[in-house]
Amino acid sequence: MEFIEVKPSDIDLIDKIYNNEIESFGIMGGADMWMIMSFIRYGKLYLLMNGDELLTVAQYQKIMGEESVFLYGFSTTPKNRNKGYGKELLQKVHIELKKLGIKKICLTVDPNNEIAIKMYKHLGYLIKEFQENEYGKGIHRFLMAKVLS
């Protein structure tokens, strides 16, 4: 298994990331090609790969004026879920971001997404806020955050 930071020239990987966005998120919440390139060039986009197979994706934006990042998107390809890859990628990313001087990671999650909330809590993320109608009427979120120690 390989931990990768995606670069703009990784065209084949970027195709796989885009296809997984559609498969994992459908029309709501996934990143399009413009966003994916923006994470790669101006934030960070990390993957776990098994040979040519994409396992898990994490997309980060820097929060301006803070030593913090926002995890915009996180997903494991459907057939590779519940095998520990999500937790493994997050643990590797925590080490990497700490090396870059990042002190805090924020994210939002659907309050009904029990699997994701459980995973984030297991890795030290805390629920900070209930964000009512964050992504439109009736689309609420929990804001979660982890301080990198």
Ligand X SMILES: CC(C)(COP(=O)(O)OP(=O)(O)OC[C@H]1O[C@@H](n2cnc3c(N)ncnc32)[C@H](O)[C@@H]1OP(=O)(O)O)[C@@H](O)C(=O)NCCC(=O)NCCS
In the complex, least distance from residue 122 CB atom to ligand X, rounded to whole angstroms: 4
Nearer to ligand X, 87 or 103 (CB): 87
Residues of this chain that interact with ligand X (CB under 6 A) are 24, 56, 74-76, 81-87, 109, 113, 115-116, 118-119, 122
Nearer to ligand X, 37 or 119 (CB): 119
In the complex, least distance from residue 9 CB atom to ligand X, rounded to whole angstroms: 26
- Distance from C-alpha of 25 to C-alpha of 5, rounded to nearest angstrom: 22
Cα torsion for 99, 18, 16, 41, to the nearest 10°? -40
Nearer to ligand X, 7 or 132 (CB): 132
For residue 138, with 0-12 CB atoms within 10 Å meaning exposed, 13-18 middle and 19 or more buried, which class applies? Answer: exposed
